[in-house]
Amino acid sequence: MPDPRVRRVRRSDVDAVVKLVHELAAYEHASGECTLTSEDLETALFGGRAGGDPRPALFGHVAEVAGEVVGCALWFLNFSTWRGTHGIYLEDLFVRPQHRQAGLGKALLTALAEECVQRGYARLEWSVLDWNEPSIGFYRSLGAVPMEEWTVFRLTDDALASLGASLEG
């Protein structure tokens, strides 16, 4: 039975979710890197930017307590070529500190696991910072296992622009 505190994100939740993402960035000591706006998030979640793809590229769930959005899970589809099916990549999971230990994080992850099972997706995966021991312990308690042999790589800012410009040549 789904947890009644968790539901799909609505347009009316966008501002609250943006605040949560900025709180997550602060928790991860990266506030300066978070530039997400309500317009960005609404477009990603619900599509419709002029000249862009009308389909959403991002999906989300929120956790509510007494009518207030206090947690969120933002995710998108990935694809396993080895399994031949989609999966869910969890980009952000955050519950405000004062609402932790109430089962909301587990309820959000359960909702995503249910999405996977219902749609026949092969896996649910995410990244966690090495120093975030409370989250690592929580994820392990759910049966999640770290992918120790994998290293995440990322291109952003000048390196991304440089590589992208070199292909125009």
Which tens digits make up the pLDDT trace of 146-155? 999 998 898 9
* Cα gap 93→108, rounded to integer Å: 8
The per-residue pLDDT for 32 is 96
DSSP state for residue 156 in the 8-state scheme: -
**What is the per-residue pLDDT across 17-65, written as a single tens digit (0 to 9) for each?**
999 999 999 999 999 999 999 999 999 999 866 556 677 889 999 999 9
Once rounded to an integer, what is the mean pLDDT over residues 69-89? 97
- Rounded Cα distance, 83 and 124, in Å: 13
Structure tokens at 123: 């896996």
Model pLDDT for residues 113-149, shown as the tens digit of each residue: 999 999 999 999 999 999 999 999 999 999 999 999 9
Hey, what amino acid is at 74? L
Q: What predicted TM-score, i.e. pTM, was given to this entire model?
A: 0.91
For residue 62, give the 3-state DSSP assignment.
strand
pLDDT at residue 1 greater than cutoff 90: no
| Amino acid at position 27, single letter | Y
